[in-house]
Amino acid sequence: MSRVRLLELDALRGIAAIAVVFYHYFYRYNVLYGHEGVSVDWTIYGKHGVQLFFVVSGFVIFWSLNRTHKPLDFIVSRFSRLYPAYWFAVICTSSFLLYFGLDGRNVTLYEVIINLSMIQEFLRVKHVDGVYWTLTVELTFYFWVFVFFIFNQLKNIAYFLILFLLISVLSVLDFLPPNNIVDKLLIMKHLPFFSVGVCLYSFIHKDFSGKWLALLLISLSTVYFYYDVYLTIMFLFVFAVFYLAIAGHLKFLIFTPFLFLGSISYSLYLVHQNIGYLIINKSYLYGLSPYFAICIALFTCLMLATLITYFIEKPSLKLMRNYYYNNIRGKL
C-alpha cells in the first residue's frame, strides 16, 4: 500500500458520518422529541457509524505512525487534528444552546469551559453535545498508543491489546468486579473496534502472523459478549468491506459526494446533533413538514461543517504543524 492518501478511506468516513446524522435526525430525534408521520426505524442502524469511525481511527493512527519519529510529533499531530475544530464546535454549539435553549440540553458556562479540554467525561461534567463522548474514547486510545510509542512497544501492541480485551471479556462475564475507572481507561466496550483497525493495517501490509489473527478473533469475541450476534455479524461484514476498500478493490466508493462528506466528516460530526435538533424544533414551530425540517437541518449543518473544515480545521492544522516543524522540532 504505497498511496499517500486512501480515497476509499475518506469515502468510508463520509458514509459513516451521514449514517450517524440520519440516525440522530430521524430515529433519535423521534425518541427525544417526536416526529409526526416520519418513517424512522430504518435509520437506527446509522448509530453504528460510530464503530466504523473507531475502526478507521485504529487503522489511520498506525498508518500515521510511519511518519512519526518523536513523541512530540505524535502530540502535535493529534492535537492539531482534533482540537481547533472541536473548540470552535463547542463554542458554536453552546452559543446556540444558550441563546435558543433546547429541552434537556442546556449548558452552563462552567460546563462549556470544561468541555474545551475534551476530557469532561473523566471529570464527570456533561458534554455540550452528546456526540462528544466518542472523542473521550478516541483520546484514551491515543493515550495508550502514545504510551506504547514512547516505551518502544508498538511492536508488541497486539499482545497488550489482547490482554486488555481479555480483561474486558472477563469483566462482562462477571469474572472480575465492575470498575468504572478501569472500564473507561481500557475503553472496554470500544477497544475491539480500534483493535480491528490495527489488525487491518497489519493485514494490508501482508502481515498475517498469529498475533494479529488472535487479536482479530478476540476482538470479534469481545463484540459478541458486549453486544450481540447481530452486531458481530454486521461487524464481520464491515471488516470485509473495509479490507476490500483499502486494498483497492472497491473503486466505486471513490464518488465525489462520498469524498466531500469524508472531507468534512469530523466537523459535521461535531456540530450536527444539537444544532440540528434546534433547527428541526424551530421548523416545527413554523409549521414546516418533518422532512422539510430535517432537510433544513441537514443543509445548515453541512454548510456549517464545510465552513469549519475549510476556514478553521484545515488552516489551523497546517499552521500548527508548519510552525512546529519549522520552529520547534529542529531544536529538540
320-329: pLDDT as tens digits: 999 999 988 8
Q: Residue 60's pLDDT band (boundaries 50, 70, 90)?
A: very high
Cell 462477571 sits on residue: 174
CA–CA gap between residue 135 and residue 46 (Å, rounded) = 18
Least trusted range by pLDDT, from 19-33, 35-49, 51-65 = 35-49
CA–CA gap between residue 173 and residue 135 (Å, rounded) = 27
Residue-number span of the structural domain to which 148 is assigned: 7-326
Q: Taking each helix axis as running N to C, give the angle between helix 229-246 and helix 191-204, from 0 to 180 degrees, rounded to the nearest 10.
A: 30
- How much helix, strand and coil, in percent to the nearest 5, is found in the chain? 80, 0, 20
Half-sphere exposure of 299 (CA within 13 A, CB side): 6
331 belongs to a structural domain: no
* Number of domains forming the structure of the chain: 1
pLDDT in tens, 200-238: 999 998 888 999 999 999 999 999 999 988 889 988 988
Cell of 150: 514512547
Identify residue 239 by its one-letter amino acid code.
Answer: F
Mean pLDDT of 241-254: 91
67 belongs to a structural domain: yes
pLDDT of residue 3: 53
pLDDT of residue 4: 55
Residue 2, pLDDT > 60, answer no
Residue 242, pLDDT > 70, answer yes
Q: Residue 173's pLDDT band (boundaries 50, 70, 90)?
A: confident
2 belongs to a structural domain: no
Q: What average pLDDT does the chain have?
A: 93
Q: What is the DSSP letter of 130?
A: G
